[in-house]
């Protein structure tokens, strides 16, 4: 397949579906979007027209039945992910799936088993690994520039809370927001987390608490290699999208600060200031979305392992379950307690 254009079908024409379809349509010449499907036929048509996709479908099964399509990008709602992975694998399609794979570990395991049985490739959409800043911090750790890592700190705060309808179906803050940070923690340190301890509250919107969720949290991580980590989350930071990491090692530290729309600093008699950080994930991680999709296409065309495999999709779900259990039971929770 190395010399052939990869034919891709996109399942889901919502916000993230259109992001990936746009990358494939305009920025990755080695791939072509053959069709896009959504239960909302109008959304599929609108995306197809805007992105010059030849087919707009209301039934994703038409994509799976199309023998000319070699890979699918799954951007449907989370409760459908694992079933779609199983169906796509059975149809012999290589698979890119947005996170999380599922809220239920048994369903994740069934999906991964289906992928293994079919012999197709699977990549999970943890795009932050491919941000140039975070990748450089990882390299500083992996190549020993900062020595043996000791402490990790991740700050991840949204500019504003999501709609309440989303909160009610997202699986909660640890599944829909912190899950990215759980993946980043594993990625940056290069080791597994053994235990978590959570302190959390509702400080942004009482309605989020009434829906059974939280909006502010700090999660303490204990890694198998002795590193101690913290994840600092809030669903509202009035100054914009706050995305920072730092790793302290015995020989030094590596840190990544927020991205800004420009580098201008205003200096006056009363203050020195600059413009606010990039406002949300569409702007902050625009390049990483393209990079992760390029690497998926490359993995399929060149028969290479995908950079974020099925187990990389499973581990953060275990961590999310442990974080919620820790909050509910007011104690540290070992991941082994919830991994089953």
The secondary structure element, H or E, covering residue 110 is helix 105-118
Residues 312, 315, 317, 319: is their CA dihedral positive or negative? negative
Considering the domain boundaries, does residue 105 fall inside one?
A: yes
Q: What is the pLDDT along the chain (340 residues), one digit of tens a residue?
A: 666 899 999 999 999 999 999 999 999 999 999 999 999 999 999 999 999 999 999 999 999 999 999 999 999 999 999 999 999 999 999 999 999 999 999 999 999 999 999 999 999 999 999 999 999 999 999 999 999 999 999 999 999 999 999 999 899 999 999 999 999 999 999 999 999 999 999 999 999 999 999 999 999 999 999 999 999 999 999 999 999 999 999 999 999 999 999 989 999 999 999 998 988 888 889 999 999 999 999 999 999 999 999 999 999 999 999 999 999 999 999 999 999 7
Same-domain pairing of 85 and 221: no
Considering the domain boundaries, does residue 239 fall inside one?
A: yes
User: What is the domain extent for residue 225?
Assistant: 129-279+316-337
Which residue's structure tokens are 């912190």?
178
Considering the domain boundaries, does residue 223 fall inside one?
A: yes
Same-domain pairing of 175 and 265: yes
**How far is the C-alpha of 76 from the C-alpha of 107, rounded, in Å?**
16
Structure tokens at 92: 């012999």
**Prediction pTM value:** 0.94
Map residue 294 onto helix, strand or coil: helix
Same-domain pairing of 86 and 41: yes
């Amino acid at each position: 397949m190395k010399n052939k254009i990869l034919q891709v079908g996109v399942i889901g024409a919502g916000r993230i579906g259109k992001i990936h379809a746009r990358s494939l349509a305009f920025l990755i010449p080695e791939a072509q979007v053959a069709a896009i499907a959504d239960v909302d036929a109008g959304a599929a048509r609108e995306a197809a027209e805007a992105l010059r996709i030849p087919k707009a479908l209301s039934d994703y099964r038409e994509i799976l039945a199309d023998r000319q399509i070699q890979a699918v990008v799954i951007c449907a709602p989370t409760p459908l992910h694992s079933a779609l992975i199983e169906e796509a694998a059975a149809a012999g399609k290589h698979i890119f799936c947005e996170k999380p794979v599922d809220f239920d570990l048994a369903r994740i395991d069934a999906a991964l088993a289906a992928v293994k049985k079919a012999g197709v490739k699977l990549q999970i959409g943890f795009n932050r690994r491919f941000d140039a800043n975070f990748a450089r911090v990882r390299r500083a750790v992996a190549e020993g520039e900062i020595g043996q890592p000791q402490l990790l700190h991740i700050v991840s705060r949204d500019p504003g809370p999501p709609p309440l309808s989303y909160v009610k179906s997202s699986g909660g803050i640890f599944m829909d927001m912190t899950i990215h940070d759980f993946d980043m923690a594993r990625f940056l340190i290069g080791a597994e987390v053994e235990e978590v301890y959570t302190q959390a509250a509702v400080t942004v919107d009482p309605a989020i608490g009434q829906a059974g969720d939280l909006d502010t949290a700090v999660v303490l991580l204990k890694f198998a290699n002795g590193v101690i980590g913290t994840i600092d989350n809030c669903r509202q930071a009035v100054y914009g999208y706050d995305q920072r990491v730092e790793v302290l090692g015995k020989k030094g530290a590596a840190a990544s600060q927020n991205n800004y729309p420009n580098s201008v600093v205003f200096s006056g008699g009363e203050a020195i200031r600059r413009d606010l950080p990039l406002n949300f994930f569409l702007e902050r991680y625009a390049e990483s979305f393209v990079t992760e999709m390029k690497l998926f296409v490359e993995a399929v065309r060149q028969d290479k392992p995908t950079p974020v495999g099925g187990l990389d999709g499973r581990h953060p779900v275990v961590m999310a379950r442990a974080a919620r259990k820790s909050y509910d039971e007011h104690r540290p929770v070992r991941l082994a307690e919830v991994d089953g």
